[in-house]
Amino acid sequence: MDIEGTTTSIEFVHKILFPYATKHLSAFVRRNLTEFTIAQELASVRKTVQDEENITLDEEGCIQKLLEWIESDRKHTALKTLQGYLWREGYETQQYRGHLYDDVLPAWKKWIAHGITLGIYSSGSVEAQKLLFGHSEAGDLTPYLSSYFDTKIGHKRESDSYRNIQKAIALPPKEILFLSDIEAELDAAKEAGFQAIQLLRPGNTPSPKHQKVFDFSEIDIV
């Protein structure tokens, strides 16, 4: 499953999580510059900007670029990793809880009872995924999930990413169903041999190519 627009409101991500990251990112990075993991992510930002713009950034330049990427919702792995660290602070201090559509948990319980394994594939980091479901409005939902994938496995609109997921979970492609609101992601999943269904949450654009449902209760897979 995708998260944003599938299990979770797009508004939660864009009106709660992104503003929190924007507000706290600068101080967080400056406070942790000597930490190896933070330095590693900044090095990735520098490399991307050097490759794309032929500009060499210092630490302050990296911070400004990261803030630009938050504004444009760029799916850069370094940004998503740093956002995951920031969001942990927000969840643990109870600044917010992860949103979940009401139809999701009943479906998960039904599917688990029938022996179906559940996983997440999101552009948000695995850290951020576990935080959202671990601190959700419905409580800790991580026991329901067997696997998590982010853009380290590949980008979501590329079919090879889904082939990599298939290898990791060791199921035939035709036995894997991918749920998302985004047509290009569903296209890539189907190209890799997956089944695919589009969630038409409020504000989503219907795809003429894929089976569509309005909520998880309409998905008959047991």
Alpha helices per DSSP H over the chain: 10-12, 18-31, 36-53, 59-72, 77-92, 104-113, 126-134, 159-169, 183-191
Residues 6+ apart with CB under 8 A from 46: 56, 57, 62
Question: Are residues 127 and 100 in contact, defined by beta-carbon separation less than 8 angstroms?
Answer: no
Bigger pLDDT: 110 vs 125: 110
The pTM is what? Answer: 0.86
Cα first-last separation, the chain: 17
Q: Express each pLDDT in 150-164 by its tens digit.
A: 999 999 999 999 999
Percent of the residues in the chain that have a pLDDT greater than 90, as a whole number: 92
User: Which residues, 6 or more positions from 53, have their beta carbon under 8 angstroms from its beta carbon?
Assistant: none
Q: Where does CATH 1.10.720.60 sit in the chain?
A: 12-92
Q: Which residues lie below 8 Å from residue 216, measured CB to CB, with a gap of 6+?
A: 101, 103, 104, 106, 107, 108, 179, 199
Architecture of the domain defined by 12-92: Orthogonal Bundle (1.10)
Arithmetic mean of pLDDT, 197-215? 94
Question: Beta strand 211-213 with 195-199: parallel, antiparallel or unpaired?
Answer: parallel
Q: What is the mean pLDDT of the chain?
A: 95
Residue span(s) of the chain under CATH 3.40.50.1000 come to 98-218
181 phi and psi angles, rounded to 5 deg: -95, -10
Cα–Cα dist 93/149, whole Å: 26
How high is the pLDDT of residue 203? 84
CATH code: domain 98-218 is 3.40.50.1000
Q: What is the pLDDT of residue 221?
A: 85
SS3 144: helix
DSSP code at position 216:
G
CA 1/CA 124 separation, integer angstroms: 12
- Mean pLDDT, residues 130-140: 97
Does the structure show a pLDDT above 90 at 222? no
What is the amino acid identity at position 119? G
Nearest partner of 102 among 206, 9, 183, 36, judged by Cα: 9
Rounded CA separation 32/47 (Å): 20
φ, ψ dihedrals at 76, nearest 5° = -95, 135
Residue 219: φ, ψ to 5°: -90, 110
